[in-house]
Amino acid sequence: MDIGTAVAGLLTLAILTFLYRDNPIYKMAESLLIGVSIGYVLVITWSSTLMSLLFTPLLTDGRVWLIVPLLFGLMMFGRFHKRTLFLSRFPIGVMIGSGAGIAIPVMLEQRTLKQMTATVMPLVTESGWPDLSALVVLLGVLTTLCYFYFSREHKGAFGIAARIGTWFLMIFFGTTFGYMVMSRMSTFIGRMEFLLTDFFQLTG
Amino acid sequence: MRLETRHWIFAGLFLLIGVTLVSGIKLDLPVSPDTQRMYDLIEKLPDGSVLLVSFDHEASSLPEIQPIARALLRHGFEHKLRLVGLALMAEGTAIGYRLMCETAEEFDAEYGTDYVFLGFRPQYIAAILSMGESIKATFPEDYLGRPYDSLALMRPLGNYSDVAGVLSIADGSFTTHWMEYGGRYKLKVLAGVTAAMVTTYDPYLASGQMQAMVSGLRGAAEYETLIDRIGGGARGMLAQTSAHLYVILLVILGNVSYFLKRRRAN
C-alpha cells in the first residue's frame, strides 16, 4: 500500500468517526481538509493565473497594459482600511457593471426565452392522440405560476389551480430530495469501496 | 459508550454496503435513454474530433464523479477522440489531470497528440467567454507549463468552432454556465453529473440546450455496460440498490412507529 492510500484511508476513517459523535480526531481531519483545500487553491491560483496570465507577460513579455488589471487588483486591498476603502469601489464597480452587462442578456435568452420555448409544445401527437407529457408540462407550468402569483387571493378556481401547483412543487421537491439521498449514498459507497478494496484490501 | 438509535442505523448501513461490495455480485442493468443518447452522440463523432473535458467539481464528490468521468473518458479514448482537459474549479484540476493520465495510459494515448490538460482558470464566466474568442489566449500554456504552440493537438485549435463540444463533469451548477455562456458560440454541451443535479439539468436536456447527460452512480454503471468495461459504477450498483431498500424500510418503520405511538397516546 502506498503512502497516499494509507493517508486517504486513515483520514476517511477519521471523518467517519463523526457518525458516533463529534470528537478531536474528526475535527483534526476536518481542519486538515479545509487547510489543504485553501492551500491548494492559493497555489494553483498563483501559478496558473497570477504568474501565467499577469506577472510573466507583464515582466517578461513587456505587455505593459496589464498594469491596469494589476492596479485594479491592488485597489481591492483598499478595503482593509477605512481611509483607503474608496479605492476598492472602482474595481468593484467595473466587476458589477461588466458582470451585469454580460449576464443579463444571457440569462434572458438562455434561462427565460429558451426554457419558455421548450414549454410550448404541440399538445397533440402526429397520430392525433393527445400528448400526455406535453399536457402535464403545460399544466405544471401554469398551475405553479398561479401558486407564485401573490397579487390575488388564492380562492375559487384560481385557488384550485394554485393548489395543484403546490402538488407539482411537492413532487419536484420529493424527486430532488430522492436524488440527493441517492447522490450521498453513492459518495458513501465510493468511499466504502475505496476502504474495502485499496485500504483493507478485502476485495479485488 | 452509549449507543443511540441512529448509531444502529449507521451500523446497519455499514454492514449492508460492506457485505454487498465484498460479495462482488453485479446487477444486470437496463440502459436508460439519457445514457444511451450520450453513448450514441460520442459514437457519432468522427475519429480525431476534439472534445473539451471540463472537471467542474470539488474533491468531496470524487467517489460519485470518478466512475462517471472514467467511463466517459474510456469511451472517448477508445473512440479515438482527442481530449482537451481543463478545470473551472481549482479542486478539479489535480483530479482531472490524474484521471485523464490514468485513462490515457490504458489506451496508450500520447500526451500532446491524443490528449492535453490545460489546467485551471478562475472566474468561470470570463474563462468560458474568453475560450470562445481564443483558447490560446485563455491558456497560453498547459497545466505542466508547456507553451500552447508546442502541443501538436492544440496548435490548430482557435476557439469553440474547432471543437466538437464540451463534456462538463460537474457536481454543481457549472454545466449551466457552459450552456449559457458557451451557448453564445453554439458550443454543444454534454454532461456527466452527480445524481443530486439531475432535477437541475433535466429542463436543459428537454429544451435541447444540453445534448446529453449521464448522471450518478447508476448512469456510470449503465455507461460501463455500453462500453463493456466494468468499473466503480457497476461494482457499486448492488450496494446502491440495497441502501435504497434499507432507507425505504427505515421510512416505513419510522412511520409505523409514529402512528402506533400516536394511537397509544390517544
Q: Is the Cβ pair B207, A187 closer than 8 Å?
A: no
Q: Which residue of chain B is at minimal alpha-carbon distance from A197? A: B22
Which residue reads 457497476 in cell numbers?
A: B234
Question: Could you tell me the three cell numbers for B144?
Answer: 505542466
Distance from CA of A124 to the nearest CA of B (A): 18
Candidate from A48, A179, A185 with C-beta closest to B199: A179
Q: What is the ipTM of this complex?
A: 0.87
Between CA B15 and CA B4 the distance in angstroms is: 17
The one-character DSSP state at B146 is -
Backbone angles phi, psi at B228, to 5 degrees: 60, 45
Distance from CA of B47 to the nearest CA of A (A): 31
The one-character DSSP state at B118 is E
Average pLDDT, chain A: 92
Select the residue from A183, A199, A202, A203 to test the B interface by mutation, using most B Cβ atoms within 10 A: A183
Q: Which residue intervals of chain B are DSSP H helices?
A: 5-23, 33-44, 62-78, 90-106, 124-133, 135-138, 174-182, 198-207, 216-227, 232-265
Residue B215 host element (H or E): strand B212-215
**Contact in structure between B176 and B189 (CB atoms under 8 Å):** no
The pLDDT of residue B24 is 81
Q: Which residue of chain B is at minimal alpha-carbon distance from A114? A: B207
A16 falls in which pLDDT band (50, 70, 90)? very high
Candidate from B94, B179, B240 with C-beta closest to A189: B240
**Contact in structure between B157 and B135 (CB atoms under 8 Å):** yes
Q: Is the Cβ pair A179, B18 closer than 8 Å?
A: no
Domains of chain B and any CATH numbers:
29-232 (3.40.50)
Interface of A with B in 30-69 (CB under 8 A): 37, 40-41, 44-45, 48-49, 52-53, 57
Residues contacting residue B136 through CB under 8 Å, at least 6 positions apart? B148, B149, B154, B157, B158
For residue range A184-195, what is the model confidence (pLDDT) as tens digits? 999 999 999 999
The pLDDT of residue A118 is 87
For residue range B110-137, what is the model confidence (pLDDT) as tens digits? 999 999 999 999 889 999 999 999 999 9
Rounded to an integer, the average pLDDT of B57-73 is 93
User: pTM for the complete prediction?
Assistant: 0.90
Residues of chain B with C-beta less than 8 angstroms from the C-beta of A110: 179-180, 183, 209
Judge whether residue A203 has pLDDT over 80.
no
Where do the structural domains in chain A lie, given as residue ranges?
A: 133-204
- Compute the radius of gyration of chain A from its Cα atoms: 27
A61 falls in which pLDDT band (50, 70, 90)? confident
Q: Is the Cβ pair A186, B244 closer than 8 Å?
A: no
Residues of chain A with C-beta less than 8 angstroms from the C-beta of B208: 118
Between B233 and A94, where is the model more confident? A94
The pLDDT of residue B7 is 92
Distance from CA of A183 to the nearest CA of B (A): 5
Q: Which residue of chain B is at minimal alpha-carbon distance from A57? A: B140
Judge whether residue A116 has pLDDT over 80.
yes
Candidate from B94, B198, B236 with C-beta closest to A179: B198
The pLDDT of residue A204 is 65
Whether the CB of A112 is below 8 Å from some CB of chain B: the reply is no
The pLDDT of residue A124 is 87
Candidate from A40, A109, A172 with C-beta closest to B90: A40
Q: Is the Cβ pair A44, B120 closer than 8 Å?
A: yes
Question: Could you tell me the three cell numbers for A167?
Answer: 402538488
Q: Which residue of chain A is at minimal alpha-carbon distance from B58? A: A37
Rounded to an integer, the average pLDDT of B155-176 is 95
**Contact in structure between B201 and B173 (CB atoms under 8 Å):** no
For the four alpha carbons of A107, A111, A116 and A122, in that order, the dihedral sign comes to: positive
Judge whether residue A182 has pLDDT over 70.
yes
